[in-house]
Homo-oligomer: A and B are copies of this chain.
């Protein structure tokens, strides 16, 4: 789970419905995380999937997000996702204004 950071920073919330996923999709997912890690300003990514998929990536600035989106390999990967798996997705670019956590105490 991605830790908290001093605010403000940015989050990209990606929610999707999709057809049956396969091993090739897992490979794409790993590839995209790898790509993000090599892109400047990347802070982390959290993903979970039920009937809906949710991936949230965290970034230092909006410019870091735009640069990542413009990356040619990223564009190709998203296009492949559209061709093969995604039915519908929403992308939200957000400024994280406050954050806090709860950690279970171990006695």
Contact = CB atoms under 8 A, between A and B. Distances in A.
A96 interface: yes
Interface in A35-76: 46-50, 52-54, 56, 62
Number of copies: 2
- The binding surface of chain A is classed by DSSP as strand
A94 interface: yes
Contacts of A96: 13, 92-94
A107 interface: no
Given A11-B13, A15-B46, A52-B48, A104 B92 contact: no
Nearest to A62: B97
Contact of A98 (B50, B54, B93, B102): B93
